[in-house]
């Protein structure tokens, strides 16, 4: 067996062991310096069996912890995660749930070790440590990260960790999707790298702080107890595993699982992709001008630049750069590099390293630190930057990773592995008194069930996927109705929500809610990664990207009258130019195409209606290559419209009876005509470039948000700025000029 830097019999301080691991990796290129996998080679059956036992142990913790938690977000939506780590913090395996957090939990443990907590306050069985502070690597305040050292025979042998998303983080606005937070001081209750309990119990003052500083303390404490219960479950089950399989075997195997996973990912890159350089632009809007905001500095529109520059090297290692990322925003949508990297680890596990999901695959990356002062690396340049919903730009950026690797898999012929980009994440959050007289704020989980991306061989699946969790699960409508003063009037597949291409993305859905039995309810249509003014840069192989996120609502409606008169209500969204909220009901304030995100100008009241659409995922391929039979199938299901079938897909149909059928001959002719029309209306790129460069230089028809974005991107990443000047042949000193305040 090869020597490992993380010896199972070592009494060396954890920080020294961690540094030795780093050194061993640098020297050998293998995690822990494991140049061979001795346990796997000697006893592959037990090695595999213990892996599954440890994974199931985490899943048991998830099931236990979510039920103990009692908050709708965990108990109904499963929005939490448990993990098992080595003594030096590497994630070995994780539960189901919000897998985006595994890297954060790993880095948190490493951070506790690096900061010398082993000496003071020390680590002992039953200690509970937490962090949710982005300044110390957290993602955003509602995600409480917890870890507990696990001892066996008086030795710290592993860590259990957990994250749960609480319903209210005590931020300046109710709830947990704090996009409106203007600065970090408004982000909510901070737990800054703290020991929050001992002997398997929270300190009294921990609970007192939560009771005085969050709006739903019973749920927030319920989540805390759920986290604790899950971590204790991990500990107890791990003891059984250690008793049965021996400490030496399990600790060696835990290290090997991480290195094994690294090898798997590297091999997968080498056998299924191609070396070279990938560039993918991505953008996201946050249009807040003229809306209800908290501080005057927030009366602005913002645009994020989310570039992905990725190089696959000859040794199958991956370099990743965010050069060109735009500046911070005065909203809760900035993210620490640690959290961003954790999200990347999750995305990468979906597309590359999914055999054993742990810290291994990410060790083969070289992630360049994002430009200081950008949304992806705000501190210390903008120390006050808020992170209330830091996932918002991160998941939008991550969507590129799916398309990028989908392209690479295609080049090697692995069509079954291809995927287009993801859907977006627009949340619905409520705050107010519910039907039992209880104040409540929190999320619905509607957004956790989007369409899945188009594949290289088929459409994506409807309402079955979500970028931040492998389990697409929007929970039961009836349970949401128990918590919140709303009634579901509809949950419908949303036609044409999966982009337009040879293969379309899985479709999203629209939830239609009626507010009921409350003195007043705030609807916060939140941004956890959505677009409203733009669409994703996901025109993969000629497809059109999914439509912008535009919710609707009706305030002071005639719904009660319609109910009393037993007349039809509103159950769906209606067409994009025939919205149900304005055609089927009467409302004093009817909004069908609201630019999200927003908080309703005033509280909603009984019989008000909310139409909340959930995104489908992205398509791939030229729309006129789509099988006409798939188009008519969608027409007959009500999943597409005659306009899209005819004008986008070029399919000619007839309806001899109740069923629509394709006229294949006419479709072939129509599609030939479309090809000719395209050639006639398009111009040579050079011709366009010559005119476009003048418009770029004149900054013609560019919203101020776009100009601010370019100005910060080019300033924070000078080389990136230079490449833009060179491409458009702009003067050396050219900069985009935002409006004066």
Partner 1 sequence: MASFDKADIEKLIDGVLPWPATQEMLKSSKDEDRFDKYVEIMQERVDFDDPILLPLTPMLFIVNDKGSRVVKCKCGHSFGDYRVNWKLSALIYVRDDEEKLRQVYVGREMPDPAWLQLREYVCAGCGSQLEVEAVPRGCPPDFEFLPDLDTFYREWLGRPLPDTCEFKDATLDKINEWSN
Asked if 681 is part of the footprint of partner 1 (rule: CB under 8 A), the reply reads yes
Asked if 526 is part of the footprint of partner 1 (rule: CB under 8 A), the reply reads no
* Cα–Cα distance for residue pair 241/235, rounded to 1 Å: 10
CA 148 vs CA 21, 86, 405: distances in Å: 21, 12, 36
Neighbours of 11 (CB within 10 A): 7
Restricting to residues 493-522, name those near partner 1 by CB under 8 A: 496, 500, 503
DSSP string, 145-171: EEEEEEEETTEEEEEEEEEEE-S----
Among 623, 628, 650, 721, binds partner 1 (CB under 8 A): 623
Using the contact rule CB under 8 A, the part of the chain among 228-236, 543-551, 562-570, 656-664 near partner 1 is 543-551
Closest separation between CB of residue 28 and partner 1, Å?
20
Closest separation between CB of residue 400 and partner 1, Å?
10
Asked if 48 is part of the footprint of partner 1 (rule: CB under 8 A), the reply reads no
Using the contact rule CB under 8 A, the part of the chain among 150-158, 367-375, 379-387, 684-692 near partner 1 is 684-692
**Of residues 520 and 574, the one with the C-beta less far from partner 1:** 574
Closest CA to 570 of 603, 595, 607, 602: 607
Asked if 272 is part of the footprint of partner 1 (rule: CB under 8 A), the reply reads yes
**Of residues 130 and 301, the one with the C-beta less far from partner 1:** 301
**Of residues 4 and 400, the one with the C-beta less far from partner 1:** 400
CB 78 within 8 A of CB 43: no
Asked if 731 is part of the footprint of partner 1 (rule: CB under 8 A), the reply reads no
CB 495 within 8 A of CB 356: no
CA 585 vs CA 40, 477, 521, 576: distances in Å: 65, 23, 20, 16
Q: Is the dihedral of CA 243, 247, 253, 258 positive or negative?
A: positive
Closest separation between CB of residue 662 and partner 1, Å?
16
Among 568, 665, 683, 732, binds partner 1 (CB under 8 A): 683
Asked if 540 is part of the footprint of partner 1 (rule: CB under 8 A), the reply reads yes
Neighbours of 63 (CB within 10 A): 15
**Of residues 490 and 621, the one with the C-beta less far from partner 1:** 621
Asked if 215 is part of the footprint of partner 1 (rule: CB under 8 A), the reply reads no
Restricting to residues 170-199, name those near partner 1 by CB under 8 A: none
Asked if 572 is part of the footprint of partner 1 (rule: CB under 8 A), the reply reads no
Closest CA to 501 of 404, 619, 645: 619
Asked if 464 is part of the footprint of partner 1 (rule: CB under 8 A), the reply reads no
Whether omega before 670 lies within 30 degrees of 0, making that bond cis, reads no
Site size for partner 1, by CB under 8 A? Answer: 97
For tokens 């149909």, name the residue: 653
**Of residues 271 and 655, the one with the C-beta less far from partner 1:** 271
Phi/psi for 587 (5° steps) reads -140, 145
CB 402 within 8 A of CB 347: yes
CB 237 within 8 A of CB 230: no
Asked if 279 is part of the footprint of partner 1 (rule: CB under 8 A), the reply reads yes
Asked if 732 is part of the footprint of partner 1 (rule: CB under 8 A), the reply reads no
Closest separation between CB of residue 5 and partner 1, Å?
29
Among 35, 689, 735, 738, binds partner 1 (CB under 8 A): 689
* Cα–Cα distance for residue pair 143/178, rounded to 1 Å: 12
* Cα–Cα distance for residue pair 502/514, rounded to 1 Å: 37
Closest separation between CB of residue 517 and partner 1, Å?
30
Helix (H, G, I), strand (E, B) or coil at 547: coil
Helix (H, G, I), strand (E, B) or coil at 216: coil
Closest CA to 575 of 562, 584, 587, 563: 584
Q: Cα–chain-centroid distance for residue 198?
A: 33
Asked if 263 is part of the footprint of partner 1 (rule: CB under 8 A), the reply reads no
* Cα–Cα distance for residue pair 387/140, rounded to 1 Å: 5
Write the DSSP symbol of residue 417.
Answer: G
Asked if 479 is part of the footprint of partner 1 (rule: CB under 8 A), the reply reads no
> Hey, what are 485's tokens?
């003063």
Among 121, 290, 380, 413, binds partner 1 (CB under 8 A): 413
Closest separation between CB of residue 372 and partner 1, Å?
23
Asked if 733 is part of the footprint of partner 1 (rule: CB under 8 A), the reply reads no
Asked if 723 is part of the footprint of partner 1 (rule: CB under 8 A), the reply reads yes
Asked if 664 is part of the footprint of partner 1 (rule: CB under 8 A), the reply reads no
Asked if 270 is part of the footprint of partner 1 (rule: CB under 8 A), the reply reads yes
Range 411-415 contact pairs with CB under 8 angstroms and sequence separation of 24 or more: 411/273, 411/274, 412/271, 412/272, 412/273, 412/274, 414/272, 415/456, 415/457
Among 205, 314, 478, 740, binds partner 1 (CB under 8 A): 314
Closest separation between CB of residue 733 and partner 1, Å?
16
Among 294, 487, 661, 674, binds partner 1 (CB under 8 A): 674
DSSP string, 18-80: HHHHHHHHHHHSSGGG-SS-HHHHH-HHHHHHHHHHHHHHHHHHHHHHHHHH--IIIIIT--E
Closest separation between CB of residue 598 and partner 1, Å?
15
Whether omega before 380 lies within 30 degrees of 0, making that bond cis, reads yes
Asked if 542 is part of the footprint of partner 1 (rule: CB under 8 A), the reply reads yes
Asked if 667 is part of the footprint of partner 1 (rule: CB under 8 A), the reply reads no
**Of residues 240 and 416, the one with the C-beta less far from partner 1:** 416
Asked if 599 is part of the footprint of partner 1 (rule: CB under 8 A), the reply reads no
**Of residues 177 and 706, the one with the C-beta less far from partner 1:** 706
Neighbours of 185 (CB within 10 A): 12
Asked if 675 is part of the footprint of partner 1 (rule: CB under 8 A), the reply reads yes
Asked if 678 is part of the footprint of partner 1 (rule: CB under 8 A), the reply reads yes
Asked if 357 is part of the footprint of partner 1 (rule: CB under 8 A), the reply reads no
Using the contact rule CB under 8 A, the part of the chain among 27-35, 130-138, 150-158, 704-712 near partner 1 is 704-712
Among 696, 708, 712, 717, binds partner 1 (CB under 8 A): 696
Using the contact rule CB under 8 A, the part of the chain among 164-172, 178-186, 270-278, 431-439 near partner 1 is 270-278
Whether omega before 545 lies within 30 degrees of 0, making that bond cis, reads no
Asked if 82 is part of the footprint of partner 1 (rule: CB under 8 A), the reply reads no
Among 14, 254, 288, 303, binds partner 1 (CB under 8 A): 303
CB 284 within 8 A of CB 323: no
Among 292, 560, 643, 669, binds partner 1 (CB under 8 A): 643
Using the contact rule CB under 8 A, the part of the chain among 191-199, 339-347, 478-486, 670-678 near partner 1 is 670-678
Among 576, 603, 646, 666, binds partner 1 (CB under 8 A): 576
Asked if 52 is part of the footprint of partner 1 (rule: CB under 8 A), the reply reads no
Asked if 688 is part of the footprint of partner 1 (rule: CB under 8 A), the reply reads yes
CA 422 vs CA 2, 395, 462, 505, 737: distances in Å: 42, 9, 12, 8, 33
Restricting to residues 14-43, name those near partner 1 by CB under 8 A: none
Using the contact rule CB under 8 A, the part of the chain among 5-13, 117-125, 133-141, 456-464 near partner 1 is 456-464
Closest separation between CB of residue 371 and partner 1, Å?
17
Contacts of 202 (CB under 8 A, 6+ apart): 128, 196, 224, 228
Restricting to residues 390-409, name those near partner 1 by CB under 8 A: 404, 407-408
CB 620 within 8 A of CB 418: yes
Asked if 647 is part of the footprint of partner 1 (rule: CB under 8 A), the reply reads yes
Among 627, 637, 642, 739, binds partner 1 (CB under 8 A): 627
């Amino acid at each position: 067996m090869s020597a490992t830097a993380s010896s199972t019999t070592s009494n060396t301080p954890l920080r020294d062991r961690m540094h030795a691991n780093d050194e061993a990796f640098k020297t050998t290129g293998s995690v822990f310096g494991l140049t061979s996998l001795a346990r796997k080679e000697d006893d592959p059956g037990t090695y595999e069996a213990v892996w599954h036992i440890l994974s199931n142990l985490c899943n048991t913790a998830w099931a236990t912890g979510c039920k103990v938690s009692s908050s709708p977000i965990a108990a109904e939506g499963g929005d939490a995660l448990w993990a098992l780590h080595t003594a030096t913090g590497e994630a070995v395996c994780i539960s189901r749930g919000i897998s985006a957090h595994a890297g954060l939990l790993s880095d948190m443990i490493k951070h506790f070790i690096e900061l010398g907590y082993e000496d003071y306050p020390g680590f002992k069985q039953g200690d509970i440590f937490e962090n949710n502070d982005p300044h110390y690597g957290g993602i955003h305040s509602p995600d409480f990260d917890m870890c507990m050292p696990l001892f066996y025979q008086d030795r710290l042998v592993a860590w259990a960790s957990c994250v749960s998303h609480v319903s209210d983080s005590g931020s300046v606005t109710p709830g947990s999707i704090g996009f409106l937070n203007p600065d970090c001081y408004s982000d909510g209750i901070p737990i800054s790298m703290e020991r929050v309990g001992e002997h398997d119990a929270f300190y009294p003052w921990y609970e007192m702080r939560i009771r005085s500083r969050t709006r739903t303390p019973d749920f927030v404490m319920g989540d805390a107890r759920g986290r604790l219960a899950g971590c204790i479950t991990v500990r107890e089950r791990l003891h059984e595993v250690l008793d049965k399989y021996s400490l030496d075997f399990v600790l060696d195997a835990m290290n090997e699982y991480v290195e094994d996973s690294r090898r798997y990912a590297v091999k997968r890159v080498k056998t299924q992709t191609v070396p070279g350089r990938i560039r993918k632009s991505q953008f996201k809007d946050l249009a807040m001008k003229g809306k209800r905001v908290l501080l005057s500095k927030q009366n602005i529109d913002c645009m994020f630049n989310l570039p992905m520059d990725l190089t696959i090297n000859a040794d199958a290692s991956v370099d990743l750069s965010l050069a060109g990322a735009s500046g911070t925003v005065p909203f809760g949508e900035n993210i620490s590099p640690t959290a961003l990297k954790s999200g990347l680890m999750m995305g990468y596990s979906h597309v590359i390293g999914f055999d054993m999901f742990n810290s291994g695959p990410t060790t083969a990356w070289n992630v360049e630190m994002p430009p200081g002062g950008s949304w992806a690396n705000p501190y210390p340049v903008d120390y006050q930057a808020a992170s209330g919903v830091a996932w918002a730009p991160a998941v939008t950026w991550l969507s590129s990773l799916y398309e990028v690797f989908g392209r690479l898999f295609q080049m090697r012929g692995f069509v079954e592995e291809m995927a287009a980009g993801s859907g977006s994440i627009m949340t619905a959050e409520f705050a107010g008194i519910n039907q039992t007289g209880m104040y409540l704020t929190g999320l619905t989980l509607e957004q956790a069930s989007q369409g899945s991306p188009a594949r290289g061989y088929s459409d994506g699946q409807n309402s079955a996927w979500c970028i931040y969790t492998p389990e697409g699960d929007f929970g039961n409508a009836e349970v949401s109705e128990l918590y919140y003063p709303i009634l579901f009037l509809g949950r419908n597949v949303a036609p044409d929500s999966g982009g337009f291409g040879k293969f379309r993305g899985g479709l999203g859905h629209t939830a239609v809610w009626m507010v009921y039995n409350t003195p007043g309810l705030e609807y916060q249509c939140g941004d956890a990664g959505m677009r409203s003014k733009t669409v994703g840069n996901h025109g993969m192989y000629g497809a059109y990207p999914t439509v912008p996120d535009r919710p609707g609502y009706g305030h002071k409606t005639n719904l009660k009258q319609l109910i009393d008169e037993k007349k039809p209500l509103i159950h769906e969204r209606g067409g994009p130019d025939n919205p149900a909220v304005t055609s089927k009901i009467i409302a004093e304030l009817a909004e069908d195409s609201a630019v999200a995100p927003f908080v309703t100008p005033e509280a909603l009241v009984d019989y008000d209606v909310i139409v909340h659409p959930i995104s489908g995922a992205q398509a791939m391929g030229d729309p006129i290559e789509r099988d006409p039979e798939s188009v008519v199938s969608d027409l007959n299901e009500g999943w597409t419209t005659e306009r899209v079938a005819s004008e986008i897909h070029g399919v000619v149909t007839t309806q001899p009876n109740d069923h629509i059928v394709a006229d294949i001959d006419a479709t072939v002719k129509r599609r030939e005509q479309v090809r000719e029309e395209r050639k006639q209306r398009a111009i040579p790129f050079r011709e366009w470039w010559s005119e476009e460069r003048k418009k770029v230089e004149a900054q013609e028809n560019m919203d101020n948000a776009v100009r601010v974005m370019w100005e910060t991107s080019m300033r924070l990443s000078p080389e990136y700025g230079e490449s833009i000047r060179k491409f458009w042949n702009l003067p050396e000193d050219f900069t985009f000029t935002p409006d004066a305040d």
